Amino acid sequence: MPTRTAAQQRDEARWAYDAFLAQCPTRDLLDTLADKWTCLVVAALRDGDRRYSDINRTVAGVSQKMLTQTLRGLERDGLITRTVTASVPVRVDYDLTPLGRSLLPVMAAIKAWAEANMDEVQAARRSYDAQAA
Amino acid sequence: MPTRTAAQQRDEARWAYDAFLAQCPTRDLLDTLADKWTCLVVAALRDGDRRYSDINRTVAGVSQKMLTQTLRGLERDGLITRTVTASVPVRVDYDLTPLGRSLLPVMAAIKAWAEANMDEVQAARRSYDAQAA
DNA sequence: CCGGATCCCGTGCGATACTG
DNA sequence: CAGTATCGCACGGGATCCGG
Asked if residue A111 is part of any domain, the answer here is: yes
Contact pairs from chain A to chain B, CB under 8 Å: 148
| Strand C positions closer than 7 A to protein CB | 1-7, 13-17, 20
Distance CA B105, CA A71 (A): 26
Q: How confident is the model at residue B11 (pLDDT cuts 50, 70, 90)?
A: low
Does B125 sit within 8 Å of A76, measured CB to CB? yes
- Looking at per-residue pLDDT, the higher value among B114 and B4 belongs to B114
**Do residue B78 and residue A113 have CB atoms under 8 angstroms apart?**
no
CATH number of the domain encompassing residue B106: 1.10.10.10
Partner residue facing B111 (CB), from A30, A122, A129: A30
The closest alpha carbon to B52, from B78, B33, B32, B80, belongs to: B80
Report the relative pairing of strands A91-96 and A50-51 from DSSP bridges.
antiparallel
Residue B74 lies inside a defined structural domain of this protein: yes
Rounded to whole angstroms, how far apart are CA atoms A61 and A112?
19
Task: Mark out the alpha helices in A1-133 (DSSP H runs).
Answer: 6-15, 25-33, 36-44, 52-58, 64-76, 98-131
Cα–Cα distance between B100 and A121 in angstroms, integer?
10
Per-residue pLDDT of chain A (133 residues; tens, 9 = 90+): 555 566 555 555 556 899 999 989 999 999 999 999 999 999 999 999 899 999 999 999 999 999 999 999 999 999 999 999 988 889 999 999 999 999 999 999 999 999 999 999 999 999 999 987 6
- Between CA A24 and CA A19 the distance in angstroms is 6
Residue B75 lies in domain: 35-132
Cα A69 from Cα B74, distance rounded (Å)? 28
Rounded Cα distance, B108 and B113, in Å: 8
Question: What's the N-to-C CA distance of chain A in angstroms?
Answer: 62
CB B92 within 8 A of CB B84: yes
B117 within domain boundaries? yes
Within-domain flag for A55: yes
Q: Name residues 25-54 of chain A within 8 A of B (Cβ).
A: 25-27, 29-31, 33-36, 38-40, 43-44
Tally of domains within chain B: 1
* B1 found inside a domain: no
pLDDT surpassing 90 at residue B9 = no
CA–C1' span, B77 to D14, in Å?
Answer: 29
